[in-house]
Structure 1
């Protein structure tokens, strides 16, 4: 086996620093194999690099930040990748059966061959809508993915983390047929500069596989649009009183999360037609964005309403080591970037403060970050023991976690799905099954109790 020069450098460094745990042939020892296609803590090069540099302390993996340079770490990663290729390593298929503490679960593919699927919601017992980030809205009817996407959906900016994001069905869909979409909206180019973009919400109806009667229900002031291409948010949920909540990430400009004259880094509350409730907490503040409900949020990627209490819960992408679960309340400041439990991705300090008067503490934070994405309280009957427990997806760790919450505290956490793909969304279906939207591979899987 002839390795590229950079990987050859990594081979020697690997033997010196890593072989004792992961095996001289990378096939595992005291620690896991690196050539079996399974990556428990993030498969992408950036994740592997950070895991080597900063370690995974709670599992006993040391950090090499002080003993290896960034170039040396990259050469080790290059050697690992070359070794993977030479070993023919492939990601194992999604398991057909799972064992959890409460149930044996049957896993089946619900929809396959999707292009970066982002969200799922259900029109009725037999019909699901799935967004694909490049800009397509897909329909699954009676278990079959329809070949043609919905026509005439809004144009999106599919660049970076932008594109067609969330889809949500009106709670009174059977009466009004409204469907809600969140997406990255770009302004026209001007002067050859990179055009700015921001998250926008629209509602419409699907008639003869065509998006019709479209209404923009939220569009930020154009002067607040950003030329960055990440941290758009965005999830949409409805509370029992009919209010619509959505979140916009801080768009890579951290200080905007503390500025109530900016839409980014916030949770918003509006009526379903886009009008703004006059009792919103900053409605009467000068120059404020009237729809604001909370602020100091970095990049919310999961939102859910508790079925029993009507409370709004959210999972938020933090920096490295700062993912959060928050209970969102009116007018509260969730601290970003003034307080955080995380570091910059290069390991530098963002702030020394984790607490500050007037700023909320997370209900739970994950350190290291699992890249939380997708959130739902289990609301079905198929998994009776899990009623009102919180389903949390994770992109980096490729997991679905189940959290038991009592008195605003997480009292138990277990992983019910691992390694099937990057979990983008998780949702309770009308049949009581759990539907998991995956990236790499682009598919949706259905989790249901294994028949006796």
Structure 2
């Protein structure tokens, strides 16, 4: 009402619309930030894969429609280790992330940059050449001699490179693997005495074939055999967990195989998605195991005389080790271990020690929730180094060749997430220097010193192996 007593009709509708519109603008989910916070750890910062599959290759195993993808984000895929995000992301957040994935997918008509031919590091210029190409999810490499390499492909093939040429036919009659989720044919290791005995060792995910369950349980298995006329023969099972310990999940199998100077064979079994079981020494998962090369259990294994413990156990509390190496001078076992979101670890593994998972950790669940507030407890070991954020460690080796003299006995660490090879200088139990020596050519699955002193890097996306040498 104005001063003359007449009423004035004021419309607030434009203001309401104005504020609502601007509030909406302010409240729109930041999809790229949400993706980096919750998804990049597994699916890669560029959406092209990491511990989990690529989101921009057009392959949608659990439904290609937006509704299926939103459902999988909200409710998770537990048997593959993908958690539910319904408590940490709203429906609008999830819808925005799916839209972001779709937009990126449409824009990714981009071809991945080609492998560089030369790389500069602090100490050397590196020549980069392709050693083997057109591989399907290569996982590991080892060498029979100076002219022959073996490469595993996770779907279940063992490939051979002779005199620099990838043989077209895989080795026949290799073990049947369960290629699902993170499982398949994983490590290959050549016996240190191969010239005398011809043994080759494989680690893979093994399913119980006689299971009546729709999703047969699986576990990491270790075998050895020989190759004759390009055929896997004379197989011996060195480690097979009791059937009742097999798990229906399809992630966290481990597994690398290494040999120490005293004839021991070490391998690791991941926690299989049941982190609390890593503390239970009656179970195989979440542990490092030590046996002899013929599968026998050493008489000084730390839990040998505990009636309830698995006799092959060497350490406890290891989440998912996918890098193992023996120090060339001390014979000590070093490992790299996937943390959850944050908390990847470098550890020196000692007999009978407990490395804490999942009672203590520097990481969180992938959905951002807290696993535990504890990072230290008496009786549990601290890592030599931890990475936060995680780099998705995979593959580990001490450089032992002669081509890179300045890098002698330094650790080569592969990283899936950031597509890197890192070089670590270790003095006693401390990492005193770390540098990235190779980056951006693909997700690094394995890294190894070859018999020629070159560094061989196994890459996923693209599936290839490259060879690094110093430029003369």
TM-score of the superposed pair, with normalisation by structure 1 = 0.85
Q: CA–CA distance in 2 between the matches of 1:386 and 1:190?
A: 49
Are 1:249 and 2:286 matched, yes or no? no
Whether the aligned pair in 2 keeps the contact of 1:244 and 1:272 (CA below 8 Å) is yes
Whether the aligned pair in 2 keeps the contact of 1:397 and 1:419 (CA below 8 Å) is yes
Are 1:381 and 2:402 matched, yes or no? yes
Whether the aligned pair in 2 keeps the contact of 1:201 and 1:216 (CA below 8 Å) is yes
Are 1:174 and 2:205 matched, yes or no? no
Q: CA–CA distance in 2 between the matches of 1:48 and 1:208?
A: 37
* Bigger Cα displacement from structure 2, 269-278 vs 183-192: 183-192
Report the 3-state secondary structure (helix = DSSP H, G, I; strand = E; otherwise coil) of the residue aligned with 2:278: helix
- Pairing of 1:46-445 with structure 2 (within 5 A): 69=90, 71-72=92-93, 75=96, 78-79=99-100, 81-82=102-103, 85-86=106-107, 88-445=109-466
Report the 3-state secondary structure (helix = DSSP H, G, I; strand = E; otherwise coil) of the residue aligned with 1:385: helix
Instruction: State the 1:195 CA deviation.
Output: 1.2
CA spacing shift, 1:393–1:70, aligned 2, 3 Å: farther
Q: CA–CA distance in 1 between the matches of 2:247 and 2:374?
A: 28
* Bigger Cα displacement from structure 2, 295-304 vs 191-200: 191-200
Report the 3-state secondary structure (helix = DSSP H, G, I; strand = E; otherwise coil) of the residue aligned with 1:185: strand
Q: CA–CA distance in 2 between the matches of 1:16 and 1:192?
A: 41
Per-residue CA deviation, residues 321-362 of structure 1 (Å, 9 max, x unaligned), is 011000000000000000000000000000000000000000
Report the 3-state secondary structure (helix = DSSP H, G, I; strand = E; otherwise coil) of the residue aligned with 1:82: helix
Q: CA–CA distance in 2 between the matches of 1:88 and 1:410?
A: 41
CA spacing shift, 1:81–1:449, aligned 2, 3 Å: farther
Report the 3-state secondary structure (helix = DSSP H, G, I; strand = E; otherwise coil) of the residue aligned with 2:297: coil
Instruction: State the 1:47 CA deviation.
Output: 10
CA spacing shift, 1:440–1:343, aligned 2, 3 Å: same
Whether the aligned pair in 1 keeps the contact of 2:31 and 2:97 (CA below 8 Å) is no
Per-residue CA deviation, residues 40-93 of structure 1 (Å, 9 max, x unaligned), is 6764498999xxxxxxxxxxxxxxxx9984643652563465256347433211
Q: CA–CA distance in 2 between the matches of 1:159 and 1:104?
A: 39
Report the 3-state secondary structure (helix = DSSP H, G, I; strand = E; otherwise coil) of the residue aligned with 2:225: strand
Instruction: State the 1:103 CA deviation.
Output: 0.2
Equivalent in the alignment of 1:59 = none
CA spacing shift, 1:85–1:338, aligned 2, 3 Å: same
Q: CA–CA distance in 1 between the matches of 2:211 and 2:88?
A: 48
TM-score of the superposed pair, with normalisation by structure 2 = 0.82
Instruction: State the 1:192 CA deviation.
Output: 3.9
Q: CA–CA distance in 1 between the matches of 2:53 and 2:180?
A: 21
Report the 3-state secondary structure (helix = DSSP H, G, I; strand = E; otherwise coil) of the residue aligned with 1:413: strand
CA spacing shift, 1:346–1:289, aligned 2, 3 Å: same
CA spacing shift, 1:16–1:129, aligned 2, 3 Å: closer
Q: CA–CA distance in 2 between the matches of 1:256 and 1:152?
A: 34
Whether the aligned pair in 2 keeps the contact of 1:42 and 1:398 (CA below 8 Å) is no
Per-residue CA deviation, residues 182-201 of structure 1 (Å, 9 max, x unaligned), is 01111124334321111111
Q: CA–CA distance in 1 between the matches of 2:209 and 2:365?
A: 33
Per-residue CA deviation, residues 93-119 of structure 1 (Å, 9 max, x unaligned), is 111110000000010100001111000
Q: Calculate the aligned-residue CA RMSD, in Å.
A: 2.5
CA spacing shift, 1:376–1:14, aligned 2, 3 Å: farther
Gaps of 5+ in 2: 1-24, 34-43, 56-86
